[in-house]
A and B are shown apart, each in its own frame.
Chain A
Amino acid sequence: MSTPPSDWEVVIGLEVHVQLHTRAKVFASSPWGFGQEPNEQVDPVVLGLPGTLPVVNREAVEKSILFGLVVGASVPEHCSWDRKNYFYPDNPKNYQLTQKDFPVVVGGQVEIELPGASRNVMGEHKFIRIHHAHLEEDVGKLSHAGSGSLVDYNRAGVPLLEIVTEPDLRSSAEAEAFLRSLVAMITQAGVADCDMEKGQLRCDCNVSIRRRGTEKLGTRTETKNLNSISSVRDTVIYETARQIRELEAGRSITQETRGWNAELVRGYVLRDKEDAHDYRYFPDPDIPTLKISRETVTRLSALVPENLYDRQRRYIANLGLPYTAASVLVNDRALAEWFELAVAAHPANPSGIANLVANDLLRDLAASATAPVSLESCLIKPAQLAGLVKLTDEGVISKQQAKEVFTEMFTSGRDAAAIVDAKGLRQNSDTGELEKIVQEVIADPAVAKSIAEYRAGNEKAINALKGPIMKRTQGKANPVLIDQLLRKFLG
């Protein structure tokens, strides 16, 4: 859907603004969060009152460094802040503190996975390079009401990590895959929540096109302030088509800043290069250069979780999981860790555990009244789920019964064995009694045809005998045992 006509290649670079998960704002002690009344989360520093000074929030710097470690960036010895000067009412100081020359993260890369031919097939993997990431302050929100304008500074000073990619993305699908991968890595490391509905992740999208096979980059446009992954995808599709149309009509691309209307699914010009701001950057004299100690880096390194694609490869190669289950599990760190605890309790059947986690558990969590889906409030503990799979593997209950037991476990939090006993589900493993039933069924003329087929070499024909046996035992017979006895008597 996003592939440009074959002789054009699209080149995309993203600037992703992520609100970091911190208690306080980036240069002030005021807390922040979503859904407060306007101008509730302000203090003299946030409002830029005369005489106030910024103080760098250590937590925000550490989350930024953690991000750098997650993407394998080098952590510099020092970082510093600069002032970006421009006048706008949502900007309390009329300059924004940002990092122009010495950002907190330099380099790094993000592994992405493109969609496969079907959801059961793994797609191509690529690496997208990160140019740098810098820690800056968010601005307030200006809205227009009637004849006046209203400004809310709750968002002003919220720590914002701006992640700038190299122009490595080549399609809307790659841009989408990059953002999904980035969000997964950031959230799994606890760097940020990336809740797009709360504006915690916003993108600027740089797009240019060139003839396939050529090196020189075309003139790019920058579409600003995209607040969802789908808007980025749509912008790339729209802007690629627009630029191809312009060039094929013999016109040229203007270097310009654009906006995006998500409802109309179309872009528009905000300002062209002539109107570009002169931000008069200079080093902020209020914040001395910050030294990043190697001890801090070492401490933060220990917090870096396993990369999700490393985890995915491990699940497939070492645990024998199918791609589909592995890809579901690794997208949620808590789910993956939950799964691994269950595997630790019953290492014999990771696929059986994965199947229950990725299907039944996720389905029931999603359907339960408590939103958002939370493993913490889940009544089943990993070892209990392992116990259920173990009972199934040992033939104590059938797979069908396991589903029923699972549902009971999910609502009560009781152990599988206790539920099996209470419900009288334990399968009959009394060989003597079962032998008698098996022999009676074999003697029944109704199954003579199946017996003959089995003896003629049709393995599957034996299954026709299992139904009547189960029926006579009210489903409590151990299917493994039935199979053994049938083969014994049918010789």
Chain B
Amino acid sequence: MGEVLHTLSAGELGRRLAAGTLTSRALCEALITRFKALNETVGAFTHLDQADVLAQADASDARRKAGQGRGPLEGIPVAIKDNIAVKGQPLTCSSKMLAPLVSPYDSHVAERLRAAGAILYGRLNMDEFAMGSSTENSAIRKTFNPWDLARIPGGSSGGSAAALAAGLVPLSLGSDTGGSIRQPASHCGVVGLKPTYGLISRFGLVAFASSLDQIGPMARSIEDCELLLNALASADARDMTCFGPADRALAPSGDAKKLRIGIPKGFLGKGVAPEVAAAVNAAVAFYRAQGCAISEVELPSSDLAVPTYYVVATAEASSNLGRYDGVRYGHRSASAGTPVEMMTASRSEGFGPEVKRRILLGTFVLSAGYADAYYVRALRARAKIRGEYLAALAGVDMLLTPTVPTPAFKVGEKASDPLQLYLEDIFTIPANLAGLPALSVPCGKSGHLPVGFHLVGAPLSEAKLLAAGRLFEAAHGFAHQQAAL
């Protein structure tokens, strides 16, 4: 039985746990066995506290036995990206800077998962401080795409996607600032949702770019993704940008076959690989055949999205990452000197090259004499992009594009070309700039490599996006897929 547990969906595991044919301990033991066998190969996890996991599993089993089960996630492991705080667990952001840090507090989502009875299962690798699209910027380890171990899993939530595709865990949490949930989901053949900005509390999510960051669920099926989303979304007074409880976003939507889907004009011209275009066009054809209304929409400012993003995100990051100075926690340089010299040395030693690049860029765009030309202009462009998306979404229920222009590239292939890497996010960035919900759904393969399509909806239209995803998933064989390892 332990052999197959890792292939099951969270929904199915929940049903078995509820029926008493499975215990959380047995499930966690099976997953720990698989972790021991595969994590060195895949590199998805940076940390797994096995004793803690088994203690949580025993507590869950005891609750269930006492009739105090907490719902559909009771006893089910959820792995967590290493930029989301869990009390007593490392919070490294895959950075040397925070390598010594153990979080003294729980994030809001960690509290929600505990309240739902879930097992907080390990720490997932990522690009350092969520800056990157390949997880190659992790200072801790490399993560490999389970479908092709020579390739990257995407990023920055690469560990979250790879852990699912390798069957190391049924559910995971990622964070998404410009595509960091959806792009690795697409590359690893799993489902990833970036919720509406403000649907899920950011309290306990280590900030990269505060006005863009959102925590989101990742899973191997739409059903599992929705299960996790329902546990995460709730009001939280500790995050002033969180508006939950968002009943509207989670309410059952109408008939998916009546959805109006907009296709942004000219998206295939943006360096989209032929196999990707073919898979996405097939998805469009599927929706049309189901009775959905397909139309072309104009988004004239979409070319501004990537430059706008790299100004706004780096500006906020340069300030957000200011606090890592070795004074209170994290890496402290051994070199002596004045407090300010110690801070400078700690930052020079603690941050990796991509993080430094973005801090420098962000510092520049906020500097006196340059802020108007860069930061202030970027805010105007952002407002324009948001306006265009909202206008387009007034006429259709959602927009459909590829999630990423090309399938996963080889490890090291783009490491020397950050600008090329930034284009990985060309389809995903606008949803962050506009604060919109967006979903990546597996829709085929380019050779042996997964491809996903991308749905963007109006604020709080998560239920509609998931309904559209479910319609596609039910008719295709991409749910619950795992790489053979």
Chain A residues at the B interface, C-beta cutoff of 8 Å: 44, 47-56, 83, 85, 87-89, 92-95, 142, 149, 151, 278, 280-282, 285-288
Contact = CB atoms under 8 A, between A and B. Distances in A.
B205 A286 contact: no
B375 A285 contact: no
A87 B210 contact: no
B367 A278 contact: yes
A280 B105 contact: no
A92 B324 CA distance: 9
Interface of B: 83-85, 91, 93, 98, 101, 103-105, 107, 202-207, 209-211, 237-241, 315-316, 318-319, 322-325, 327-329, 338-340, 343, 363, 366-368, 371, 375
Nearest to A84: B319
B206 A53 contact: no
* 5 A-B pairs with the lowest CB-CB distances in the bound complex, closest first: A94-B322, A285-B211, A280-B366, A285-B210, A50-B206
Per DSSP, chain B at the interface is loop
Nearest to A282: B366
Given A50-B93, A51-B207, A282-B375, A93 B339 contact: no
9 contacts: A49-B103, A50-B83, A50-B324, A51-B202, A53-B238, A85-B318, A93-B322, A95-B319, A95-B322
A361 B363 CA distance: 61
B98 A47 contact: no
Contacts of B315: 282
A395 to B, nearest CB: 66
Contact of A282 (B83, B238, B239, B371): B371
A94 B323 contact: yes
A371 to B, nearest CB: 38
B240 A51 contact: no
Given A50-B206, A51-B207, A142-B339, A282 B319 contact: yes
Given A85-B322, A87-B340, A51 B84 contact: yes
Given A88-B340, A94-B323, A95-B319, A55 B238 contact: yes
A55 B240 contact: yes
Contacts of A281: 366
A286 B329 CA distance: 22
A56 B209 CA distance: 20
A55 B241 CA distance: 10
| Most B C-beta atoms less than 10 A away, residue of A56, A87, A142, A282 | A282
Name, among B83, B209, B210, B367, the residue most crowded by chain A CB atoms within 10 Å (CB to CB). B210
Contact of A53 (B239, B363, B368): B239
B210 A286 contact: yes
B319 A280 contact: yes
Most B-side CB within 10 Å, residue of A50, A280, A287:
A50
A83 B319 contact: yes
B340 A280 contact: no
B363 to A, nearest CB: 7
Q: Counting chain B CB atoms within 10 Å of each CB, which of A47, A149, A285 scores highest?
A: A285
Contact of A51 (B204, B324, B325, B366): B204
Nearest to B326: A89
B467 to A, nearest CB: 30
B371 A53 contact: no
B328 A53 contact: no
A286 B240 contact: yes
A54 to B, nearest CB: 8
A95 B210 CA distance: 14
A278 B366 CA distance: 9
Contacts of A280: 318-319, 363, 366-368, 371
Nearest to A276: B368
B93 A89 contact: no
A50 B105 contact: no
A53 B91 contact: no
A48 to B, nearest CB: 5
Contact of B91 (A50, A85, A94): A50
B98 A50 contact: yes
B323 A50 contact: yes
Given A56-B240, A280-B319, A286-B210, A51 B328 contact: no
Nearest to A85: B319
Contacts of A151: 327
A87 B343 contact: yes
A302 to B, nearest CB: 27
A51 B203 contact: yes
Given A49-B104, A285-B316, 16 more contacts: A48-B328, A49-B105, A50-B83, A50-B206, A50-B207, A51-B84, A51-B91, A53-B202, A85-B322, A87-B322, A89-B327, A92-B328, A94-B322, A149-B339, A151-B327, A282-B371
Given A89-B325, A89-B327, A280-B367, A51 B205 contact: yes
Contacts of B202: 51, 53
B368 to A, nearest CB: 5
A83 B322 CA distance: 11
Contact of B101 (A50, A54, A288): A50
A91 to B, nearest CB: 9
A52 B203 contact: yes
B105 A44 contact: yes
Of the candidates B207, B240, B327, the one having the most CB atoms from chain A within 10 angstroms of its own CB is: B327
B154 to A, nearest CB: 23
